[in-house]
A and B are shown apart, each in its own frame.
Chain A
Amino acid sequence: DIQMTQSPSSLSASVGDRVTITCQASQDINTYLNWYQQKPGKAPKLLIYDASNLESGVPSRFSGGGSGTDFTFTISSLQPEDLATYYCQQYDTLPVTFGGGTKVEIK
């Protein structure tokens, strides 16, 4: 199975800060990576697909990049409503696997 390692596991930042999360795959997955946001008590929501494509309706402060084994997810200006846990997910090889999640808190 492809292991997806996210870091950090949690972070605390102020409104307006730039936040970056990394996701590392245990083997090359090209750009077959997606990012999700899960707010407390809610289902996950797709934000980014194919490493860097913004899902329709998602604010432009969210972005993604990378290829191969190393990926980044960035919130350019953190907003109070961004309080959530963020997950990466690979679909290069079955089984589909998720990263362990990054919990983003607001200072």
Chain B
Amino acid sequence: QVQLMESGGGVVQPGRSLRLSCAASRFPFTTYGMHWVRQAPGKGLEWVAFISNDGSNKFYADSVKGRFTISRDHSKNTLYLQMNSLRTDDTAVYYCAKDLNPLTPYYFDNWGQGTLVTVSS
């Protein structure tokens, strides 16, 4: 059973930075692309970023481009999201999700439980 466990959420002031982690287990992490998807309180799902299995392709939503960076560490089986210049509208539950494909987005077949990021002064 695939396991994805996010951590690193919390309360942060506007303009500050935060790094989210997603520990992956029980599947070959190096084989699959990975995503971050967020959900603002009471709102729908918003795709944030994707990284290919080997880290060579990275794609971002326009709303986070230039501020957020997705990365992965295969030695630790961990996915990251470095979030800089945070804004109040970045407040959301952030989910990591596994893709079926290695290189480009297809579908999210497994999700973590999410970690809440609150941007507030």
Residues of A within 8 A of B (CB): 1, 34, 36, 38, 43-46, 49, 55, 87, 89, 91, 94-101
Task: Assess whether B109 is in contact with A94, with CB atoms less than 8 Å apart.
Answer: no
Contacts of A55 in B (CB 8 A): 109
Closest CB pairs A-B (n = 3): A43-B111, A96-B47, A98-B45
The answer to whether A95 and B44 touch (CB under 8 A), given A43-B112, A55-B109, is: no
Decide: A44 and B108 in contact? CB cutoff 8 A. Answer: yes
Q: Would A94 and B105 count as touching, CB distance under 8 A?
A: yes
Tell me the bound Cα distance from A97 to B48 in angstroms. 10
Contact with A along B87-119 (1 / 0, CB 8 A): 000000001000010001111110111100000
Report the Cα distance A43→B107, complex, angstroms.
15
Q: How far, in Å, is A40 (CB) from chain B's closest CB?
A: 11
Q: Which residues of B contact A (CB under 8 A)?
A: 35, 37, 44-47, 50, 59-62, 95, 100, 104-109, 111-114
Closest to A56 in B: B109
In contact, B59 and A89 (Cβ under 8 angstroms): no
Q: A43-B95, A43-B114 are in contact. Are A97 and B109 (CB under 8 A)?
A: no
Shortest CB-to-CB span from B20 to chain A, Å, is 15
| A87 adjacent to B45 (CB under 8 Å) | yes
Tell me which residues across on chain A come within 8 A of B114, comparing CB atoms.
43
Chain A residue nearest to B112 (CB atoms) is: A43
Q: Are B112 and A98 in contact (CB under 8 A)?
A: no
Closest to A101 in B: B44
Contact B45 A49 (CB under 8 A): no
Chain B contacts for A101, CB-based, 8 A: 44-45
- Minimum CB–CB distance from B46 to chain A (whole Å) comes to 7
Residue in A closest to B4 when the chains form the complex, CB atoms: A43
Assuming the A-B contacts A43-B113, A46-B108, A91-B105, are A98 and B59 also in contact, with contact meaning beta carbons closer than 8 angstroms in the complex?
Answer: no
A34 near B107: Cβ-Cβ < 8 Å: yes
